[in-house]
Chains A and B, each alone.
Chain A
Amino acid sequence: MMTGVMSRGMAAYAFAHRQIMLTKRYWMWELVFLVYGLTATLSIGFLGSAIKGAAGRSIILYLLTGSLLWGYLAVIFWDISNMITWERWEGTIEYTFMAPVSRATHIFGLCSWTILYSLVRTAVMLTIVALFFHLDMSRANYLGALLVLAVANLSFIGLGTIVATLPLLSPEKGSQMTGIVEGVLLLVSGVYYDVSVLPGWMQAVAKLSPATYALRGMRRALLHGAGLAQLWDVLLPLAVTGVVLIPLGLLVFNRVEVYCKKTGRLTRSG
């Protein structure tokens, strides 16, 4: 038996490796989601194409960036928030929660594979849509875009961890509730439009959403080739929300886990 960092690393790898195996076993579903995501993104691109005038080309890229980033974040958000739902469905939830593994290790392991998978998936989609619409990406600052993504991941892991408590609290309705949270984020964060078109109170909510800053930063980097100097005002709020949301997510999850252990909710379903 190992101790300390090595055993935590091995446990984190166990969750990542399990996700890799499951992705391989359910490859047909992964293909379905990829094709579905791609067709949705292409549809959004064609919507941009329908807009005539000089602004047309940049609108296509504006919309596609929103769609691709949303797809990227949705995969991460979905995997984390559904880690409970899936374990309940398979019936393994009790075995996972009685293993000598901290929740931080559990979530870190799960996220490490999910982020890598989502990144590759988005890169494949970006390549396809860029070829499809003959996008001029010569000005794009890919490193800047990756930096925005990396910092945004922290916030989304934290937010996903908080939302993952919903299926823990309600085996019947929790999973559906995560969809509502995701939908609200989509609405207020300016995925397909600038948040300035939203009513005042929604703009206030948008300021709290890490997706707003992630989208703004990605568009600046990919459309205008913005460097670090032009990205710091989105990187800073993203870093702050990440630093707040990850420990907050773990705290909320631990509290809810204790509540579920008091009320007997930590059981399989189906």
Chain B
Amino acid sequence: MRALAPLRRGIGKLGVGAGYPNPAPSRRLSGLAGAGLTMSIPALELHNLTKTFRKDSRNGRKERGLARLLPRAKRTSRAVDSVSLVIEQGEVFGVLGPNGSGKSTLIRIVSTLLLPDEGTARVFGHDVVREPDAVRQVINRVSADAAFFRRLSAMENLVHTARLYGVPVREAETRIRDLLRRLDMREGKLNVPMYELSRGMQQKVAITRAFLTTPRLLLLDEPTTGLDPKSKRQVQGFIRQVRHDGGTTVLLTTHDMEEADILCDRIAILNHGKIVALGTPRELRSSCEECGDSPTLETVFLTLAGRTIEEVDEEG
């Protein structure tokens, strides 16, 4: 039943094809077609979301003399291009894409840290531009770089976050200990300055920070990037627990195909800011006509992204 649930959720309010506008016909997947409409408010609803950045056209070249004083031409770059999708409550939704495909821009828009140029993004019905305060109450985020006040201990950083979100300190301390136990982190590390903790432990503290505020929508922006295999498995195990508990909706961006395959109910493949495919991992594998027999998710991704593994590695 669980495998079918995403199919139903995927319909949302957008209907057939709206999840990835203008896909090549051969890449259109069946994930958005089919069953009936769901009545609950979606956890996240993106409609024609577009974000363009203006960049210096010098592209890193140094200018000499008076040329430095002249106005610089700007080139534009579409980081997110007409993205539409619906994520239903309780879903773990993956966004796969190579570096620079727009994954983090998407997360930053939903986090209210970036304003879109066009389109809308709604979190539990609240518009991220018009109602940012309501959105901030129900979201939290874990990014690849666990950012903390490095001289402060994990507990001090976490209590600071708890206070910002109105969680009483005693309640926060109990929750912190419980969360870190579930993440297999020793309590003794709680009072050690952050800069003395390993990368894996810092990421566990980052995950604790996000869950401390009981977010209804959790944004995981490449949470396992740079972690050693053991820490990676522990973090993935925790996300699986969250999926099992069902109380939190997760939007996960990753390069890691295996991770996306095991953790996500549905996956969108993003390339040059556009969604080129959307569906359950099984659907993505089965409906890619150009990928050969029994393709892995990696093959599907590389085919749809139009790049070879070497090219993706070079970009990384």
Chain A contact residues, CB within 8 Å of chain B = 1-3, 6-7, 10-11, 13-14, 17-18, 21-22, 25-26, 90-92, 94-102, 258, 261-264, 266, 268
25 contacts between A and B (CB under 8 A): A1-B165, A6-B166, A14-B160, A17-B163, A18-B152, A18-B160, A21-B152, A22-B151, A25-B151, A25-B152, A90-B150, A92-B148, A94-B141, A95-B141, A95-B161, A97-B112, A98-B136, A99-B164, A99-B165, A100-B137, A261-B113, A261-B115, A263-B54, A264-B105, A264-B108
Chain B residues with CB under 8 A of A266? 113-114
The answer to whether A18 touches B115, judged by C-beta atoms less than 8 angstroms apart, is no
Instruction: Report the separation of the CA atoms of residues A258 and B115 in the bound assembly, to the nearest whole angstrom.
Output: 8
The answer to whether A264 touches B165, judged by C-beta atoms less than 8 angstroms apart, is no
The answer to whether B166 touches A1, judged by C-beta atoms less than 8 angstroms apart, is yes
Shortest Cβ distance from residue B10 to the other chain A in the assembled complex, whole angstroms: 27
Instruction: Report the separation of the CA atoms of residues A91 and B146 in the bound assembly, to the nearest whole angstrom.
Output: 8
Name B163's closest neighbour in chain A (CB-CB).
A14
The answer to whether B147 touches A91, judged by C-beta atoms less than 8 angstroms apart, is yes
Shortest Cβ distance from residue B76 to the other chain A in the assembled complex, whole angstroms: 12
Shortest Cβ distance from residue A155 to the other chain B in the assembled complex, whole angstroms: 28
| Cross-interface CB contact of B163 among A11, A21, A90, cutoff 8 Å | A11
The A interface, classified by DSSP as helix, strand, loop or mixed, is helix
The answer to whether A101 touches B152, judged by C-beta atoms less than 8 angstroms apart, is no
Instruction: Say whether, besides A98-B136, A100-B137, A100-B165, A264 and B147 are in contact (CB < 8 Å).
Output: no
Chain B residues with CB under 8 A of A262? 114-115
Q: Is B298 an interface residue (CB 8 A)?
A: no
Chain B residues with CB under 8 A of A99? 136, 161, 164-165
Instruction: Say whether, besides A22-B151, A94-B147, A264-B53, A10 and B113 are in contact (CB < 8 Å).
Output: no
Chain A residues with CB under 8 A of B139? 98
Q: Is B18 an interface residue (CB 8 A)?
A: no
The answer to whether A1 touches B167, judged by C-beta atoms less than 8 angstroms apart, is yes
Instruction: Report the separation of the CA atoms of residues A165 and B141 in the bound assembly, to the nearest whole angstrom.
Output: 25
Instruction: Report the separation of the CA atoms of residues A100 and B216 in the bound assembly, to the nearest whole angstrom.
Output: 14
Shortest Cβ distance from residue A237 to the other chain B in the assembled complex, whole angstroms: 36
Chain B residues with CB under 8 A of A22? 149, 151-152
Instruction: Report the separation of the CA atoms of residues A102 and B136 in the bound assembly, to the nearest whole angstrom.
Output: 11
Name A12's closest neighbour in chain B (CB-CB).
B163
Chain B residues with CB under 8 A of A97? 112-113
Chain A residues with CB under 8 A of B143? 94
The answer to whether B164 touches A14, judged by C-beta atoms less than 8 angstroms apart, is yes
Instruction: Say whether, besides A98-B111, A98-B139, A258-B115, A90 and B147 are in contact (CB < 8 Å).
Output: yes
Shortest Cβ distance from residue A193 to the other chain B in the assembled complex, whole angstroms: 37
Extra pairs beyond A94-B141, A266-B113 (15, CB < 8 Å) = A11-B166, A13-B163, A14-B164, A18-B160, A22-B149, A25-B151, A91-B145, A92-B148, A94-B113, A95-B147, A95-B161, A97-B113, A98-B112, A101-B164, A262-B115
